[in-house]
Structure 1
Amino acid sequence: MKKMNWFLVVIMLFGACFAACTDDDDNGGSWDGESVTVDCDPYDAWSYFSFKEGKTVKTLKVKSMEGAVTGVYYGDLSSSTLIKNTDSLLMVINEGVGDTVVISFPACEIGGMSGTETTGASFSLKAIAKKEGNVWNISSEKSVVTMEKEDETTTDYYMSINGTIGTTKDADFSLALYMNVKAMEDGGMQMNMGGTFAGESTGKTYGVDGDETSFDWDIAFHRYDIKTNGGAAVMLQTTDLESVTSASVTGESFTSDVDGEVMVDMSGMMSGFVGYQPTKVNEVLAKWVTATPTGSMPPYSYEINGKVFVVKTAGGEYAKLRFTDMSDATGKNEAATFDYEFPLK
C-alpha cells in the first residue's frame, strides 16, 4: 500500500482533531438491543472486542522494535561542495511500495556558486532497500530530483544514493550521495556535489506488545481501522438494524482481512517520518467512517456510515452491527459506539 508524505499526514491529523462528528443513533430506527462503546486509543494501541462477552477483552499497546530501514537518521556528510550543514544532517526514510523506500533530506543548507547560501532546502529521492544478512543494501539509479528552497525557487539535480544501513540499533550506515545540477551535467560538466553520508542506524519497525492469539476476540479497533480474528465482513445496503436476520446474508459475499498497515508512531512527524505497523485490516469494516474533503480547514469532515455491517467470525457465527458514534463521552474522537446482535438470529 502506498504511504502518504508527511504533509498529508499532518493534514490528516488536523482533520481528525477538528472533525465534525455525526451522531447517527437514530439512523435506521430505534434499537432496544445491545449497544457498546469501544475505546480506540489513537494510533498507539489496539482494543480487542468479543461479541460473546460484549466487551473489550484486552488492549495491547504498539511498541517499536529495531531492525527496519525506516526511521529518522542523523549523520555527517563529507561534502564541501554543495550541502553545507554537514554536522548532524537529518535524513528520513519512509516506506514506499514493495522494496521501494523514499529517502528525504528535509532541512539542508545549500551553498551557491556565487558564495551565497540557502537554508531550508529539501529534496527526496527513491531507492531500493533489500535486507541481506545484517545490513540493508540501498541502491538507486541516477535520476532527476527537484530541490525545493525556502525562497520558493527550485533546481533540478541528477541524484543517486547507494550504500548500506545496519539492521541493529547504533550499527553504522554509509551512503554515497551523488548530486549534480542537471543543467550543468546536460552541458557536459560532470561534478559530484554530494559526498558520503555516515552515522548510526536508527531504523524501526512496529508490532503489538503481546500475543493476539493468546485470548479470544472477534474484532479489534485502532482509531478508524478494524480487523477481525480470522473472520470476514460484509456491508449491507440498509440502515435498519432491526430488519436484518440470518436470512439477510444468504448469498452475500464476505470480505476477509488483507495485509496492510496502520499509522502508529507520530513522534517524528514534524521531521517527515511516520511509523507504520504492518497488520491485517478489514477493508469493508474500515468503511464505518466516511471522510469527505472540505477544501478548507479542517480539510476533512467525518461522519458515521449508518449502514448495517455483518461480521462472520472464525467460528462461523454471525454478528450484525451498526455504528452510531465515533467519539467518547468527552467528545474526543477516540471511541467507536455501535449497536449489535450476536449471534444473529
Structure 2
Amino acid sequence: KEQKVVEVSDPKNDKGWDIAFHLTDFKTNGGASTAWGALGAAAKTDVETLSASAKFDGVTWVADETGVGIIKKMQTEPDKSEPKNLCLSDKVIQFNMTSMPPAVEKSGKVWLVKDAQGKVVALKVKSCEYEGVSGSRKLILNFEYVYLAEGSVTNESNAGPSTPSEPKKELKVVSGEINVLKWDAWTYFSFKEQKVVEVSDPKNNKGWDIAFHLTDFKTNGGASTACGAKGAAAVTNTEELKANATFDGAEWVTDVTGVGIRKSMMGAVDKDEPKNLSLSDKIIKFNMGSMPPAIERSAKVWLVKDAEGKVVAFRAVSCDYAGAAGSRQMVLKFEYIYLED
C-alpha cells in the first residue's frame, strides 16, 4: 500500500508491512508471522503476465509457518523458530549451489499475495542479480506488483489458516530474586507481572500467585484465598525447567492452616496463618546444626498454579545469606516458566 520499504521493530505485532525478504526466503504478514490477526498469505499461479484485470480460479492459499527455518549465517543451522512462507520461499527465486557465489534462478510465474488486510496483490519478479564485489556484494531483487479487483480470486482453499487463530504466546524462563528473611511479613509475587506486588488483603486479592516467608511458601488458593483463587502446588522428580514438559499424575496440594509459621525467632507458632505444605520446608529448609542455620536447597522443579489456575514450573536456583548480623538478608534466587496448555 505504501509502495516502499518500512521500518518494523516488532513484526508479529505490526500490520504496517505486507511482505518481507531474506535471501531466497519470503514471509507474509499472516499465519505464524502475526500475533494479532493480520491476514497475509500466498498462492502460486500458472500465469506469467501481470494484469489488474486477471482472474484466478481455484487457488490454494498458504500461510506462514515455523519449523523449517532460515539460514542466518553461511554454514550454520537454520533458525527453526523463524517463520516463513513455503509457497514463496525458494520458489520465487532460488540458489543454484553449483557455483560460488551461487547462481540465482528466477521464476517467471505470477504469485498472489494477501496483504495484512487480506487484499490480494499479484506479484512477479523481473530480475534478481548480484551487484558489487565480494565483501560488499548485494543481491538486488527487482519486482513489480498490482492490486487485483475484488472478486478476482474464486474457489479459494487454504493449505494453512488464512485467518490465523490467536497464536501461543512465546514462553520464556523468568528469573526472580527476593529477600525472604522477614519474620513479620510475607513477600508476595505475581508470576504474570514478573515482580513483587504490594498486597494489603491477600485472601481477597487475585493479583498475587506465590508468597515467601523464610522457608515457608503459600500459594493463592486453599486456605489462603477467600475469593476463589485457584493456587496450588505439586512436586516433580525433574530438575529441568522446560515450557513443553509434560507431567503425569501430579498431586496438587492447596494451602492449609493448623501448622503455622513463626513470626519471630523465639516466638510462638501462629497456627492461623496458612501455608503450602508441598512447598514449605521442601524447596529450602534450615539445618539447625549451626548459627545462623545453614540453608539447604532442593534442585527439583515444583509445579505451582497461579491465581487463575495456570501452571508454572518453578525452581530455586540458590538461597544464601547476604550482609552481617543485624542487617542480614536471606536471598532466594529462583526461575520459573509458564507451561504450555
Q: Same fold (TM over 0.5)?
A: no
Name whichever structure is richer in helix by fraction: 1
Name whichever structure is richer in strand by fraction: 1
- TM-score bracket, shorter-length normalisation: 0.3 to 0.5
TM-score (norm 2): 0.41
TM-score (norm 1): 0.40
- For the pair shown, the structure with the greater C-alpha radius of gyration is 2
